Amino acid sequence: MKTAVYPGSFDPITNGHLDVIIRAANIFDKLVVAVLNNSSKHPVFSVEERVELIRESVPKIPGCEITVTSFDGLLADFAQEIGATTVVKGLRAMSDFEYEFQQALANRKMNHRLDTVFLMTSDKYMYLSSSLVREIGRHGGDISDFVPLRIQKRVLEKLSK
């Protein structure tokens, strides 16, 4: 069974993340979407809220078991703990590459069995990020094109507070 982990802050999950999750689920038998419990980034949504929002957004994909959880510490250790040998990341633009390359190499250095697979973003999500959603939502803008339909109301309520 091929298990992959898709890590991130997901503050909140966007349609760009969801696109990567669905495409990864068509490749792997098991996909663990892992929310980093990162107090240093001062997330707007608590880790429990972020996990819950992802669970609500992700559809059932035949042939892949998708689970959503959170983790602390190093991704390389977490991957080993859950038996994942692949990290899935989305690549949006060349500007993502250098940082992602460094992370992938560092993760493999720490866990020799861990490879990173990059999925090119769908072009309509190239510009999208969680901070863009937070910024638009905070000012009462329309986020309907950016976050999954099922969670739009909850996300807007929280951001506009």
Rounding to the nearest 10 degrees, give the CA dihedral for residues 129, 153, 20, 81.
100
Give least dist CB 117 to ligand COA, A.
13
- For the chain, what is the largest distance between any 2 Cα atoms, rounded to a whole number of angstroms? 46
Contact segment (CB under 6 A) with ligand COA among 25-33, 54-62, 127-135, 136-144 equals 127-135
Decide if residue 148 touches ligand COA (CB under 6 A).
Answer: no
**3 vs 105: CA distance, rounded Å:** 19
SS3 of residue 160 by DSSP: coil
Which residue, among 8, 4, 19, 9, has the nearest Cα to 122 in the 3D structure? 19
**Contact flags string 43-72 toward ligand COA, x per CB under 6 A:** ------------------------------
Interface with ligand COA by CB under 6 A: which residues? 7-9, 11, 14, 16-17, 20, 36, 74-76, 90, 92, 103, 106, 121, 125, 128-131
